[in-house]
Amino acid sequence: MEEVFVNEDELLRVGGIITTHGIKGEVKIYPTTDDIKRFKKLKEVYMEDHKHHFYLLHVESCKFFKEQVILKFKEFADINEAEKYKKCELYVDREHAVPLEEGEYYIADLIGLNVVSDDESFHGVIVDVLKTGANDVYVIEENETKKELLLPVIDECVLDVSLENKLVKIHILKGLL
């Protein structure tokens, strides 16, 4: 495989290689995307190896097993080749990402946004987004205490998201703190 050079700011993580599957070079993927069916449409992904080098992989086949995706890459001839890349991350570039609906955001774009409440008090920065099934949850690291505030992503709590201003305006419901 030949290393490729990428603009990491333009990449979106779609999953990670968990382990091998069978002896023909297939790998099990833990998806980090909302819609695992999107893997059916993937033609290529970027893989980041353990030394932070990137490689372009070509998808030969895709199947599903429970909550996991099983992919066969052209570059992995057998289990021995695939074995080396356990726990490597997979990415797509923004050009090949699933289009977003209005009010939807890529997690990568939310990380690092400042969070202020409707009374203009600063609460911290979004450090993660948890997928819970019912609704997402913003993990906000409070500035001074370094404590985490878990904020449900619902209309009553998230009033506005401005990627341009790197700002999320929230309302903290009674009992949330």
Q: What is the pLDDT of residue 32?
A: 84
Contact at 8 Å (CB) between 136 and 150?
no
Q: Boundaries of CATH 2.30.30.240 in the chain? A: 107-170
Q: What is the pLDDT of residue 17?
A: 95
Contact at 8 Å (CB) between 62 and 71?
yes
- What average pLDDT does range 78-102 have in this prediction? 89
Instruction: For the domain covering 3-96, report its CATH number.
Output: 2.40.30.60
Question: Which of the two residues, 67 and 70, has the higher pLDDT score?
Answer: 70
Q: Boundaries of CATH 2.40.30.60 in the chain? A: 3-96
4-60 pLDDT, tens digit per residue, is 998 888 899 999 999 999 999 999 999 888 778 889 988 999 999 999 999 999 999
The Cα 169–Cα 159 span in angstroms is: 5
Q: What is the pLDDT of residue 100?
A: 82
pTM: 0.75
List the strands of the sheet with 167-170, edge to edge: 148-152, 136-141, 122-131, 114-117, 167-170, 158-162
- What average pLDDT does range 137-159 have in this prediction? 88
Task: For the chain, give the mean pLDDT.
Answer: 89
Question: Which of the two residues, 51 and 100, has the higher pLDDT score?
Answer: 51
Instruction: For the domain covering 107-170, report its CATH number.
Output: 2.30.30.240
Q: What is the pLDDT of residue 94?
A: 86
AA identity, residue 65 = F
Which of 74, 64, 75, 56 shows the shortest CA–CA distance to 21? 64
**Buried b / exposed e along 146-165 (16+ C-beta atoms within 10 A):** eeebebbbeeebbeebeeee
- pLDDT grade for 92, boundaries at 50, 70 and 90: very high
